[in-house]
Amino acid sequence: MLILIIMLIIPVSGKTEVYITLDKDIVAPEDLIRIRVTVLSDLPNFLEILVKGSGGVGQWLYENDSVQIFDESFDFQIPEDWEDGVYLVKVNLIENSTTKEFFKQFKVVKPKITKIDIPEVPYQGKTLVNVYVDTPDESVTSLSFKFIGLNFRFTSKEEFKPYKNLAKLELNLRERYEETKDIDYALKPGIYAMEITLNYKGKIFDSRVLTVEVAKPRLSVQVPEEIMAGDPIRIGISTNRVGEGYGGTYYKGIVLTLVGENYKTVRVVELNEKGEANIMIETAGLSEGEYKLYIRDTMLTYRKYEPKSFAYLYYDLDPKDPAAKEFYAQDDILIVKYIRITKNTQIKSKSILFFEPTDQTADQGELVNYRILLSFADDGLSAYDLAIYLTNKSVAEIYRIYFPEWAYETYKVISKDHARFSAIDLKGFIGKGVSRVEIATITLKALSEGDTEITVKMKRMDADNGEPINPYVYSAYLIVNQTVNQTLELNETEQLNETEDAPSNSTEEISDTENHNYTDSHEEQNLSSNEQLNSTPENLDNLNSSDQNSQIPKNRSLIKRPKELETDIADIVLMAGVSASFVLVLGRGKFH
């Protein structure tokens, strides 16, 4: 307007100016576009104003034979049948048989869907359907859809606006189940149709129908078969539930249950945009042994119990079990993985800690000895701390522990079915490369018929350089025979009578054995290391025979005299002595 006023006040001789302005650069069919044309000329001119496109399409707006000054606006509605393309607002001025052309272009775009991307959607899944559009004005463009199956259809509850020519349609297959809470209404895997409609200013401009396959859900689990106690169990989960995280809500229908002896824990898994998850379960404090990991995709169809509660109570319920229908679990996927949790095992050395002999047979009441040996000490032996156990304490009991000559600072605690003992090599007897190292000798007392395993457990064993020794450990066995009969008892009694003249230290050992009880064993705990060394046999290889011949088991008593002989054993001995004297006297008389 300012230009027009100036031109009226100060005419420009021989000069013509034309201005064309549009309120829109892009329009759709049936849209209104405001066109303003301003003409300033020093002489009258013939004026034409029109809108035209390719192929002869066009429409006249204005015509005048003589115009010198012109300033008008036109509201032009784009015809419905105009196709996409570039159009011109054209102004023609005819002056002195010469035509001057002025024009301004705009674009007509019919709102439409250009492309649809739909990812795989699994049973009871939800995903985003990407719909690309071409529209002149996104603010008045919206999309909706219908999902169609046999004998049913459901319509999206909202309209989706495009942004930068992309609309994300939320397809939630769980809606039908969530509305009814009836698993029969859940959309089963199969082929469906999806109709997508584009609306522009409330009018449908485009629609597409495409087939959609509802896929079977997939679940895969990666977990180590063995894990060290204290290390976390890392579980990798992947599914075909891609793109469920829109709106900040992720799929939470998968639950894990880790079950072991006296242990159970449940975790709810939340998938990411890629349909994956990484779960970590700490094992600190868990005991060594076998565990089962149950991974269940509940499909978020459940009855009576939420997924977490159901996984705690019915973690091992097979979806094929008829009882699964009671909880809507017949459509679940259940995967079971086995995990072994082991202690932090150290690297084993080449040495072996073993018993010698490895097995023995004994009668009830008999004492038997086992030597504990270390096969090889690569870097010597400075100290050890061991424990031994009997698996069947009714068959035998631990009677005594002997230490070798090199052992100092010895310590032992003895119970019926287990004992713990330790020693230090203060004088360096066990150096590098020593083989068949004597660790200790244990004496067992046979109690009753049966068998027992003798195991040894390493508490610690150190080399001279302070490094730990971790040998392979082997067990030993003891078999106790049935009760001996009277004939064996008689033979044993005769053998014992023949040893009555044995040296006094043997007699004392017998007395000690007959009076032995557990108090005596515990009193041995207070012996000093020197006293224990004095009690250690000179030759451990002969220990079995010497101890067994010098001790009488409790259940082997001397045989009673026959009832018909109303005499005492002392009388029998006296008579034997008199008879011997009589024979001597006769002998002497004969030689004289």
What Å distances lie between residue 500 and 41, 59, 495, CA to CA? 156, 145, 9
Taking CA 315 as the corner, what is the angle to CA 318 and CA 183, rounded to the nearest 5 degrees? 60
Architecture field, domain 347-560? Sandwich (2.60)
- Tokens, residue 261: 């002896």
Q: The whole model's pTM is what?
A: 0.55
| Lookup result for tokens 């009277």 | 486
Q: Which residues of 64-89 are buried (b: 16+ CB within 10 A; e: fewer)?
A: eeeebebeeeeebebeeebeeeebbb
- For residue 264, give the 3-state DSSP assignment: strand
Architecture field, domain 2-108? Sandwich (2.60)
Confirm if 148 and 174 have CB atoms less than 8 A apart. no
Confirm if 544 and 368 have CB atoms less than 8 A apart. yes
Confirm if 41 and 67 have CB atoms less than 8 A apart. yes
- The domains of the chain are located at 2-108, 112-215, 255-342, 347-560, 562-592
How far is 65 from 45, CA to CA, in rounded Å? 7
pLDDT in tens, 535-557: 333 333 333 333 333 333 333 33
pLDDT truncated to tens, each residue of the chain (592 aa)? 444 444 444 444 457 899 999 999 999 999 999 999 999 988 888 999 999 998 888 999 999 988 889 999 999 999 999 999 999 999 999 887 888 999 999 999 999 999 999 989 999 999 999 999 999 999 999 999 999 998 888 899 889 999 999 999 999 999 989 999 999 999 999 999 999 999 999 999 999 999 999 999 999 999 999 999 889 999 999 999 988 877 777 899 999 999 998 899 999 999 998 999 999 999 988 998 999 999 999 999 999 999 999 999 999 999 999 999 999 999 999 999 999 998 865 566 779 999 999 999 999 999 999 999 999 998 999 999 999 999 999 999 999 999 999 999 999 999 999 999 999 999 999 999 999 999 999 999 999 999 999 999 989 999 999 889 989 999 999 999 987 553 444 445 444 444 444 333 332 332 333 333 333 333 333 333 333 333 333 333 333 333 333 333 333 333 333 333 344 444 444 444 544 444 343 344 444 4
Confirm if 360 and 411 have CB atoms less than 8 A apart. no
pLDDT in tens, 416-446: 999 999 999 999 999 999 999 999 999 999 9
Confirm if 549 and 447 have CB atoms less than 8 A apart. no
- Tokens, residue 567: 């005499």
Tell me if 2-108 shares its fold with 347-560.
Answer: yes
User: What's the CATH number for 112-215?
Assistant: 2.60.40.10
- Tokens, residue 413: 């605690």
Range list of β-strands (E), 78-202: 85-95, 98-108, 112-117, 121-122, 126-134, 141-149, 152-155, 166-172, 190-200
**Total count of residues recorded for the chain:** 592
Query: For 158-316, where are the alpha helices, taking DSSP H only?
Result: 175-180, 307-313
How far is 111 from 161, CA to CA, in rounded Å? 13
| Pick from 214, 189, 207: nearest CA to 146 | 207
Confirm if 491 and 363 have CB atoms less than 8 A apart. no
- Tokens, residue 339: 């995990």
